[in-house]
């Protein structure tokens, strides 16, 4: 019987949530540990590759007639670069950070 990407996606997710080792999860579900490991790695790479950008909404920042300014750049865990321009809405920044933490 050919097992589909959907089949393995469900098992990889269930294994990650189970708290069991791959060996024990596979024993209980009569799966091959190497195959679960392969799909875990493959699906993980695909998720990371497709998750570089996250839409969290927009904030309108009105330009002020002052001298040109530069943003503050914040690097989060070496994975994300956030540029904060003067006037960035505090609630919007909190929303962005919450989304990034949830993806962690």
**Torsion sign over Cα 11, 17, 23, 25:** negative
- In this structure, what are the phi and psi dihedrals at residue 73, rounded to the nearest 5 degrees? -105, 130
CB 25 within 8 A of CB 15: yes
pTM beyond 0.85, yes or no: no
Q: Give the torsion sign (CA, 10, 100, 76, 59).
A: positive
Element (H, E) at 76: strand 72-76
Listed residue (69, 11, 67, 87) closest to 43, CA to CA: 11
| pLDDT tens for each residue of the chain, 104 residues long | 567 888 989 999 999 899 999 999 999 999 999 998 888 888 877 666 555 556 666 667 666 666 567 888 888 777 778 888 888 888 888 888 788 777 66
């Amino acid at each position: 019987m050919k097992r589909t990407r959907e089949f393995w996606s469900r098992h990889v997710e269930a294994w990650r949530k189970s708290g069991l080792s791959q060996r024990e999860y596979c024993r209980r579900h009569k799966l091959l540990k190497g195959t679960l490991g392969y799909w875990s790695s493959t699906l993980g790479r695909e998720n990371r590759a497709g998750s570089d950008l996250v839409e969290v909404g927009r904030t309108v920042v009105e330009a002020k007639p002052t001298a040109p300014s530069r943003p503050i750049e914040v690097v989060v865990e070496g994975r994300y670069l956030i540029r904060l321009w003067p006037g960035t809405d505090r609630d919007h920044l909190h929303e962005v950070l919450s989304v990034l933490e949830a993806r962690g």
